[in-house]
Structure 1
Amino acid sequence: MSGNKGLSRLGAALTGAGAAALWAFSRGTWVSAVYEDTLAGGGTAMISGAEWSAELTAVALLLLVGTIGLLSLRRVGRRIVGAVSALAALGAAVSPATLLLRGADPERAHAILSSGSDGSATGATTAAISEWADITAVDTANLFPVLTLLGCLLAVVGGVCAVARPGEDAPKMNKYEKEAVRREHIREDLDARPDSGRVMWDALDADIDPTEDASRG
């Protein structure tokens, strides 16, 4: 008999949706920065959510693992995974919420865009701007941070559902019950396929006389 899963399946669905949202929407543009460079000239550079908040990718992967755990673990495990997933999603929500409330920090934008400026020597990714470039304006693209925040909210609700109502587990069968079920399945196979060599070997392995069962049927 399968156990009542409570709200853990709903929690898994919401957590999975949150993981997908974090992964997808952190790839969109969160910040655009206008810069001036006396040598290379000015321009506008875009910063994605994954660049602005590098932890989002790790949280999305953690939530994906949590989704699998909510579907496969037993009651206590589901409750623990739900709590961890909810806390991780709550932590991931801080960055997009701060960006939406306070706006983008020009110094942080400069640090992100100029990182890797020595890429020719180290093999790192080439920077979008040089270290001596000046950030003259920054603008927050609200759409993707808002959608990322909603993804975090979905995962938080999913984790809370699993913690609050993790459901019950199916009772574990002891070894005698398992053996009885196995023998019953073998007898059914003997009735259905008495000439099968594999079924006969399974019957002998389970101390069942296939000839006796065949004559009885």
Structure 2
Amino acid sequence: MKRTISALLCAGLIAATFTACSSADSFSDKENLSKNVERNSDTETTFNYSDGAVSAPTEYNSYSSEVSDFELKLFRNYYKNNSDKKSFVFAPANTALTLGLLANGAAKQSQTNIVNALSDELVLDSENQCSSYFQSRLKAFSSDGTNTDENDKNSEKAYVKLNQSMFFNDTVDIRKNFLKANADFYGANIFRFVFSDENAVKKVNSVLGENAVTSLDNSNNLFCTSTSDIYDEWLNAYEKDAVAD
């Protein structure tokens, strides 16, 4: 009996060791703050198109105009500082969504400055609802983009995916109302962990992709990432032999 119990204990310790090793390079449930926060299904509050919202918020036209103006100014500034580059990729819609979410975590004058940068006509609640409607409607009219088989690309519908992630240092206090606002209106991935941890870079890359981040500065409190994934066929198709190095 003693041998059996000892064998079971050893097996249990080995299993526990392998479990710990396999999860050391990825975020735990405790570190993934957005994982278990549910979105409000009331479309009159969230205006989430995928939940069944049939009409846009009343301020949506103002939101569209104001944010478009913000994005144009941002593009002009970005181009001015990158005009020496032959080409670059820029997604101002992602920037607007990220700032909208950040405003929910800011306080006092910082929050006012962020909100006014996006629009001097809308309050934060309206920006949240309009952001939710814009992003959810965009996703609803796109396929999920999971088909990567080159042979099936022609049969795949066009899609656009916008994704935001926020990584907070463990020293930052994250309020519950910020996490709830994210779940209701933005759907970003939010993590809080120790930036100086030996596995910190591996954890981030488990979300963003291999070698996406090479180091983390422990003096920082937050860094954000935004990605845009777009697939569609060219309006005027061209053959492979028309492409040069």
TM normalised by structure 2 equals: 0.18
Q: Larger Rg: 1 or 2?
A: 1
TM-score by length of 1: 0.19
* Structure with more relative contact order (C-alpha pairs < 8 Å, separation 6 or more): 1
User: Which of the two has greater helix per residue?
Assistant: 1
